[in-house]
């Protein structure tokens, strides 16, 4: 019988795959993978479980097997993505009308800040939407941050272990590294609020005498800020019993969140004066170079996008504005439009 030339039998193919897998297992066990990955630019693998397929294998950011990722998955840095947290909220599309995303690309180029921090609508669109926002006196009492809004939820985008905080850090920073549980370890933030470049390193600890002691890192150097602060959201609508179901979703909505310098986030606090007397004299705030009622980032190239994003969020969640807040917002956005910002 004539032997077929060329090709490969199924047995040979399976045998070859087994040889490759066996070699990979030996390399990982012997600790040789890490130096090889650094030389050849391969993904870091610290545990054999990372080689095994699972339900979360398609979204695990620290395992790259050269497969085409689904379009819904965020890239490693500076990519705007609709996440399950966002789609579960009472929202509308993050695209601008008619599906035009060119304004977001233009904002990124002009401001130099992460795309995820930018407003999904233009300043003119924000000015137009301002008329949809109800004017009301803020409801400033009865607020409990943890009880009413909970803590960070696990993100469906990060293998079930990473939280919303990790997702925003991954989205807004560059050069991000993560552990096998999708926790962000390091990265670089181009801070939208100050314009500074910040190197982030997650806190590390060791156990000594049954107690944990910090050994390095500075997790608080980069914090996750709610552009419309949780307290503001409560005071402008989420205090109502009928809105109880929206609170945890709001606190974890990526469209509401940005990674920012920790100090700037601390100064901003609630981001708007909820009491009229404070809004008139500003004497009880630490804000500088701001409008009397609404806090503005010191990074002036981001101010117009920031103010437009506030309007987008308040419109999305049907939150109100005080009379002075709305008047200031309108005046500021009108100037942005006039300046072409």
Mean pLDDT of 21-27: 65
17/262 Cα distance (integer angstroms): 49
How many Cα atoms within 13 Å fall on the side-chain side of residue 196?
A: 15
Give the domain ranges of the chain.
14-51, 84-339
> What pLDDT does residue 295 have?
94
Concatenated DSSP letters for 140-167? -SS--HHHHH-SPPBPTTTTTTSBHHHH
Strands 204-208 and 211-216: antiparallel
> What pLDDT does residue 285 have?
53
301/297 Cα distance (integer angstroms): 9
* pLDDT tens-digit map of 207-221: 988 888 999 999 999
Average pLDDT, the chain: 77
Mean pLDDT of 79-84: 33
Give residue for tokens 């700037």: 264
How many Cα atoms within 13 Å fall on the side-chain side of residue 10?
A: 0
Answer whether residue 139 shows pLDDT above 90.
yes
Q: Which residues of 122-157 are buried (b: 16+ CB within 10 A; e: fewer)?
A: bbebbbebbeebeeeebbeeebeeeebbeeebbbbb
| Structure tokens given for 175 | 């050069």
Number of Cβ within 10 Å of residue 224's Cβ equals 22
- Range from 249-253, 287-291, 301-305, 320-324 carrying the lowest mean pLDDT: 287-291
* pLDDT tens-digit map of 193-205: 999 999 999 999 9
> What pLDDT does residue 95 have?
36
């Amino acid at each position: 019988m004539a032997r077929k030339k060329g090709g490969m039998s199924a047995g040979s193919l399976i045998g070859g795959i087994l040889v490759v897998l066996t070699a990979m297992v030996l390399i990982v066990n012997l600790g040789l993978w890490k130096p090889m990955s650094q030389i050849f630019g391969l993904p870091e693998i610290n545990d054999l479980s990372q080689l095994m397929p699972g339900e979360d294998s398609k979204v695990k950011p620290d395992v790259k097997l050269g497969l085409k990722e689904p379009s819904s998955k965020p890239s490693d840095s500076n990519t705007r993505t609709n996440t399950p947290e966002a789609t579960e909220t009472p929202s509308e599309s993050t695209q601008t009308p008619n599906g035009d995303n060119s304004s977001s690309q233009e904002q990124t180029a002009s401001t130099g800040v992460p795309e995820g921090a930018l407003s999904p609508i233009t300043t003119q669109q924000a000015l137009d939407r301002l008329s949809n926002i109800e004017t009301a006196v803020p409801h400033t009492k009865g607020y409990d941050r943890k009880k009413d809004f909970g803590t960070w939820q696990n993100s469906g985008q990060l293998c079930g272990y990473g939280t919303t905080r990790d997702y925003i850090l991954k989205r807004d920073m560059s050069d991000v590294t993560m552990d096998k549980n999708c926790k962000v370890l390091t990265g670089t933030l181009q801070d939208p609020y100050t314009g500074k470049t910040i190197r982030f390193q997650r806190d590390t600890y060791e156990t000594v005498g049954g107690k944990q002691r910090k050994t390095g890192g500075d997790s608080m150097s980069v914090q996750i800020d709610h552009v419309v602060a949780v307290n503001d959201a409560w005071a402008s609508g989420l205090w109502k019993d009928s809105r109880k179901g929206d609170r945890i979703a709001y606190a974890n909505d990526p469209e509401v969140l940005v990674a920012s310098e920790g100090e700037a986030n601390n100064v901003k606090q609630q981001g708007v004066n909820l009491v009229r007397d404070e809004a008139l004299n500003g004497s009880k705030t630490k804000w500088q170079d701001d409008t009397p009622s609404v806090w503005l980032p010191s990074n002036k190239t981001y101010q117009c996008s920031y103010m437009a994003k506030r309007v987008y969020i308040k419109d999305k969640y049907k939150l109100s504005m005080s009379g002075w807040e709305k008047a200031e917002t309108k005046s500021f956005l009108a100037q942005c439009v006039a300046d072409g910002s």
